[in-house]
Structure 1
Amino acid sequence: MDLERRLRDLKDRMTYIRDIFGTREDDSIRLLEARLGEALEREARTPGSVSAEELARLDDLFSFSERKLDTMLTPMDRVRIVRHPQRICLKDILENVYDNYTEIGGRGEFNIDPSMCIARAYFSRRVGEKVVRQMIMVIGHEKGHGEAYRNGGSAKPWGNAKALHYMKVAETENIPVHTFIFTPGAYPVEDWPGAAQQIARNLYEMAALRVPVISVCSEGGSGGAEAIGLADRRIMLSHGYYSVISPEGAAAIEGGLRGGERATPELIARCATRLRITADDNLQNGYVDRVLREPPLGARPHHYEFFRELRRELIQATNEAVSEVKSMKLFRAMAVRASRTDEAESIFMRWNLSPSALNRLVELRQRKYRAMSRHARLDGTGLFSRAAAGARGTVDAVHSYLRYDLLGRQKKRLDAMFEELGAEAHLVRHKLLMPLKRSMDKVLVSGPEGRRGVDPHEELTRLSCPEDGACLSGSQWAWISPRSQEDRTVSCPNVRTHHCPDLWVPDLLGDFAGVCPNCGHHFPMEYRWYLENVFNYRESREFNRDLESINPLNYEQFDLKLDKAKEATGLKSACLTFETTIESVEAVVAVLCAPFRGGSVGAAEGEKFIRAAERAGRKRQPFIAYVHGTAGIRIQEGVNGVIQMPRCTIAVRRYIDAGGLYLVLYDTNSYAGPVASFLGCSPYQFAVRSSNIGFAGPGVIAETTGLPVPPNYHRADHALSRGHIHGIWDRREAKKNLHQALLTMGGRNLYYR
């Protein structure tokens, strides 16, 4: 019976090897198939004819061949490894790494989202004669071993919401969080709470989560991975991958595929290589802290030594995160830094942290992400200009401190005291003088000409227009689209339902600002229209103009595409940042410009956005993000692009926590990573009418889920009904509404709440 089981195990190993390498031929694979085929054929013909010694030799041959094949793995082979049903899953880790655990928030398919698994677990450690249990909150994607209901580890919005809920529970209980990333990407459902919005909430909260967070990545697909991946220590399994997009998705974009077309295996494999998605690539780029080596061809449930190594790695990483911020470090902190992973269990350290240590933990986490992706952008600012900018920043910070902190706090106290005294005096004055005022009003109204010679009835009913002008302001805009010079007419898309007349282009794109005067449909408008007519760009001061997008992965032909975008737009990246004044209100603005590579975000755009948020914080000014359109994270930059999601979200979180007013205005098409992070985390999000907003486009949703996408699924009014945004604005009223929002949401000094 034991021989049958061993023979069956060898057969499973052969199937696994063939699944990983696909149709690729190799002498080692052919030799294994031949030897195993002979043994199986002989055993089928004469049961018991295969001896234990022969099976042992065959097992040794498999082990030798697996080690050899492991050195030949391509990035796409690693993708197939992490997706294979025999790959270890989170349940295997819970069973073999932790000493005990209890699954919470549902079990198996009786769960709000079976692809997200939550458990309370602990490590048992012996300290002298005493056994200590160190509690951990374990949160991760559960792929299982082929169970369909797990959805391949693609968490839905409510699964990510469940993860965030238990992160906050861990924060309340002051216990570390271990997250395990096993996902090809988040499930693109826009229904409440919405895929993009929930990932943005997770990132925003994790940016300042006051407990140590350790993440382990096996399969990290874009925003789905980031939803639980913002951590103090990031460990990556050596056969895993971490990427901005799946190789298949990248191939579909590179190949321009439409209508259900499939990319060739060769193109998919090339994209996997170009994206630099492997563990060693990410370690080299600084996006993971260490790589945990797996057995040949990847860890599977029977690799018990690997689980022991993972346990030691988790303890070591948690000890490091804790010792770095503890006030009394003494010898154990030095021992943790100097020790090897195999010594981790011999060093005990309490994982509960004091409030001051937790503050240091959050600060170090935020600094860590701030320092990432420096190699993936080009800063053409000269040395003198950098020094001048640094000096100006220091002056702004000192000025703001003196004005708002040192003197401002005292002024606020005095203002509050005088307001209270003034309110008391006003009430006394009102009570004493009101009877006299009423008597005087009766005398004036009963006079021969009435009050000021005006009939009281007429005064109450006449329009409140100024005497020297019309109620409506003129329709002259500071900037008019060049398309308005075309001498032709266009039809409104709503002509059949609203019977709109044909529109003459000079009127439509000139006086009407691209808005149908009959139904209000918004035609697309250039971002320059908003710069000049809403943000007063001509009188603004642009900064960080010389931060430039580059090709950090040397992605094939991408340099040419970047050069073409720079020449066509006159921009060096898709992000434009400047200081401006909106109706006497000073503000810092960051614009994502759709004409530059679809407004996609890479390392340069992320850095410009972060510096804009920091500048707004130093100068105590509101921070406005205008999204003329964004196609998401720039896939050609790989993880250099996707890491901007947590980086920019941390910058926004720091700005808001300091008291800043952060407001986002969407236009045209806004999708994917930016919406699921630093844009979607704003407490004040608005959209120009006829905008499209969501986590993924209709084609991606249909291909991923297999479900039909309703018409207008991403329109602004649907986003408003789902709670994604908080208001819809007419383009012609954008400046007025923006000014009103700044006054009503920012208050008197427009920075501190």
Structure 2
Amino acid sequence: MNWISNYVRPKIGSLFNRREVPENLWTKCDECGSMLFHRELAENQNVCTQCGNHMPITPRARFRALFDGGAFTEIPVTAPTPDPLQFRDQKKYPDRLRAAQRETGEKEAMLVVQGEIGRVPVVAAGQDFTFMAGSMGMYVGNAILAAATRAVERRCPLVLFSAAGGARMQEGILSLMQMPRTTVAVEMLKEAGLPYIVILTHPTTGGVTASYAMLGDVHIAEPGALICFAGPRVIEQTIREKLPEGFQRAEYLLDHGMLDRVTDRRHQREELTVILRMLLGLDPAVQADLPPPVLSNAAAVATQPAASAER
């Protein structure tokens, strides 16, 4: 028996040929620190199975869990003029856009779709916080106008999921102009007598909160979501006082009359079904053969970086 050939070489070879374990198999909850298997996390709509922490979720994954049978059709959005201010800081604005598109696989920070929720035709718009912190620029303004226009054409409700760090500084005053533009879009829905429901997710801040995110007929928030114009740290530094516990979180705003409901993400489909059907004068009860949502596509769920929002 050759000890080197039969034992030493295979042992050394196994060290170099050992397969690497993929890093994306597990996700760490930023609240309780639990290690969560990505497939179980995806099936739970990116809600921690241990503590119930609502972790970030992409609009596509959210819509798969929301629409009947997970089926929806994307609505095209007019692309704005690229880099209108020729803005540059450490990187050129077009370079930042391309990097965000590669990272997320999306064109921009908002996705607009149409489908059915509880057998009710609905137009939905969702902000993607992974795309430059979901910042509101001209594309987001165009997306909300496209969503409102399609909702009016189809005579159906608009459901919007907000998640943003505020306006996009690379577009300067043009990004701030989206506040009145989106307000006009919401007014189109109100004039047509169509429901506009907003689900505020973590975080919803800045000019987004000061415009379309707080103009809904019904406001629902996810548990623990930060919802504000200026963040609590900025306010504390300005007034030099300690803010109350949970200030500007969804539960605090609900207690002070700023929200209608705080609803777990896993129950939003059922709650939206009841609300939409009631607002449209339909029977809130839906038949038991309603097609279930699609929750098994783990690749559709992406955790998002903390960015500048306070968690």
TM-score bracket for this pair, using the shorter chain length: 0.7 to 0.9
Q: Which residue of 2 aligns with 1:658?
A: 192
The answer for the alignment partner of 1:87 in structure 2 is none
In 1, the alpha carbon distance for the partners of 2:69 and 2:167 equals 26
Q: Distance in 2 between matches of 1:507 and 1:647?
A: 40
For 1:749 and 1:597, locate their aligned partners in 2 and report how far apart those are by CA, in whole Å: 41
Query: Which position in structure 1 is the counterpart of 2:31?
Result: 493
Map of 2:279 onto structure 1 = 745
> 1:671-710 counterparts in 2 under 5 A?
671-710=205-244
> C-alpha distance in 2, partners of 1:539/1:575?
18
Distance 1:608 1:525, change over 3 A: closer
Partner of 1:525: 57
1:718 aligns with 2:252: yes
TM-score of the aligned structures, taking structure 1 as reference length: 0.32
| TM-score, normalization by structure 2 | 0.75
Quick one: which of 620, 637, 648 aligns to 2:171?
Answer: 637
Q: Deviations over 1:431-456 (max 9, x none)?
A: xxxxxxxxxxxxxxxxxxxxxxxxxx
Q: How many Å apart are 1:571 and its aligned residue?
A: 2.1
Q: C-alpha distance in 2, partners of 1:698/1:740?
A: 34
1:609-643: CA deviation from partner (whole Å, max 9, x where unpaired): 1121121112100111112x111111221111111
User: Is the 1:676–1:695 Cα contact (8 Å) retained in structure 2?
Assistant: yes
The alignment covers a number of residue pairs equal to 260
Q: Cα–Cα, structure 1 residues 485 and 749, in superposed 2: closer, same or farther, change >3 Å?
A: same
- The letter for the 2-side match of 1:651 is A
Task: In structure 2, give the amino acid aligned to 1:558.
Answer: Y
Do residues 625 (structure 1) and 143 (structure 2) align? no
Name the structure 1 match of 2:73: 541
2-structure distance, mates of 1:703, 1:559: 34
Structure 2 segments unaligned to the other structure (5+ residues)? 1-21, 285-311
Report the Cα distance in structure 2 between the residues aligned to 1:559 and 1:549, rounded to whole angstroms: 11
Secondary structure of the 1:692 match is coil
User: Which secondary structure does the structure 2 equivalent of 1:694 belong to?
Assistant: coil
The 1-side partners of 2:156 and 2:247 are apart by 35
Distance 1:711 1:483, change over 3 A: farther
In the TM superposition, residue 549 of structure 1 has moved relative to its aligned partner by 6.7
User: Within 1, Cα distance between the matches of 2:138 and 2:38?
Assistant: 39
- Residue identity matched to 2:31: P
Structure 1 runs (4+) greater than 4 angstroms displaced: 516-519
Decide whether aligned partners of structure 1 residues 700 and 659 sit closer, same or farther in structure 2, where only a CA change above 3 A counts. same
Greater helix fraction, Structure 1 or Structure 2: 1
The residue type equivalent to 2:160 in the other structure is A
Q: CA deviation at 1:707?
A: 3.2
Given that 2:29 and 2:36 are in contact with CA atoms closer than 8 Å, whether structure 1 keeps it comes out as no
Could you tell me how far apart the structure 1 residues matched to 2:247 and 2:96 are? 31
- Distance in 2 of aligned mates of 1:516 and 1:605: 29
CA drift of 1:746 comes to 2.6
> Aligned pair in 2 of structure 1 residues 647, 494: CA closer, same or farther (>3 Å)?
same
Q: 1:584 to 1:602 in 2, by over 3 A?
A: same
How big is the shift at 1:491? 6.4
How far 1:741 moved relative to its partner? 1.4
Asked if the contact 2:36–2:48 (Cα under 8 Å) also holds between the matched residues in 1, the reply is: no
Question: Could you say if the C-alpha distance between residues 515 and 494 of structure 1 is closer, same or farther in structure 2, counting changes exceeding 3 Å?
Answer: same
Instruction: Report whether the alignment pairs 1:591 with 2:126.
Output: yes
1:514 matches 2:46: yes
1:28-86 per-residue CA deviation (whole Å, 9 max, x = no partner) reads xxxxxxxxxxxxxxxxxxxxxxxxxxxxxxxxxxxxxxxxxxxxxxxxxxxxxxxxxxx
Which protein is bigger by CA-based radius of gyration?
Answer: 1
One-letter identity of the residue aligned with 1:732: R
Residue 492 of structure 1 contacts residue 516 of structure 1 at CA under 8 Å; is this kept in 2?
Answer: no
1:704 Cα shift?
3.5
Question: 1:608 & 1:645 partners in 2: Cα distance?
Answer: 13
Offset at 1:526? 3.5
Query: 1:615/1:709 Cα in 2 relative to 1: closer, same or farther (>3 Å)?
Result: same
The structure-2 alpha-carbon separation of the partners of 1:673 and 1:536, relative to structure 1 and needing over 3 Å to count, comes to farther
* Larger relative contact order, structure 1 or 2 (CA cutoff 8 Å, min sep 6): 2
After superposition, the CA RMSD in angstroms is 2.7
Q: Secondary structure at the match of 2:214?
A: coil
Find the aligned partners of 1:561 and 1:506 in 2 and give their Cα distance. Answer: 28
| CA pair 544-523 structure 1, distance change in 2 beyond 3 A | closer
Rounded Cα–Cα distance in structure 1 between residues aligned with 2:70 and 2:78 = 19
What is the DSSP-based 3-state SS (H/G/I as helix, E as strand, rest coil) of the residue aligned with 2:156? coil
2:19 corresponds to: none
- Is 1:563 the counterpart of 2:98? The answer is yes
Residue 663 (structure 1) shift:
0.3
Q: 1:566 to 1:599 in 2, by over 3 A?
A: same
Q: Which AA in structure 2 matches 1:493?
A: E
C-alpha offsets along residues 683-714 of structure 1, whole Å, 9 cap, x if unaligned?
20101222111111123223433333444322
- 1:544-575 C-alpha deviation (Å, 9 max, x unpaired): 24525722111112221112112222222211
Q: Does the 8 Å CA contact 1:574/1:605 hold for their aligned counterparts?
A: yes
- For 2:123, the aligned partner's letter is V
Offset at 1:538? 5.7
Give the residue type in structure 2 aligned to 1:568: E
Tell me the SS of whatever aligns to 1:565. Answer: helix
Please state if 1:576 is matched with 2:114: no
Instruction: Please say which of residues 705-714 and 554-563 is displaced more in the overlay.
Output: 705-714
> What's the offset of the Cα at 1:506?
4.4
Deviation at 1:654, TM superposition (A): 2.3
For 1:537 and 1:633, locate their aligned partners in 2 and report how far apart those are by CA, in whole Å: 34
Shift of 1:749: 9.9
CA shift for structure 1 position 724: 1.7
Cα separation, 2, equivalents of 1:657 and 1:624:
17
Displacement, 1:727?
0.2
Q: Which residue of 1 aligns with 2:37?
A: 505
Distance in 2 (alpha carbons) for counterparts of 1:504 and 1:593: 22
SS in 1 for 2:246: coil
Contact 2:77 2:146 in 1 (8 A): no
Among the aligned pairs, what percent are the same residue? 28
Cα contact 2:68–2:119 (8 A) shared by 1:
no
Structure 1 residue matching 2:235: 3-state secondary structure: helix
**In structure 2, C-alpha distance between the alignment counterparts of 1:744 and 1:590, rounded to whole Å:** 21
Residues 549 and 572, structure 1, Cα contact 8 Å, conserved in 2: no
Structure 1 residue runs without a partner (length 5+): 1-481, 496-501
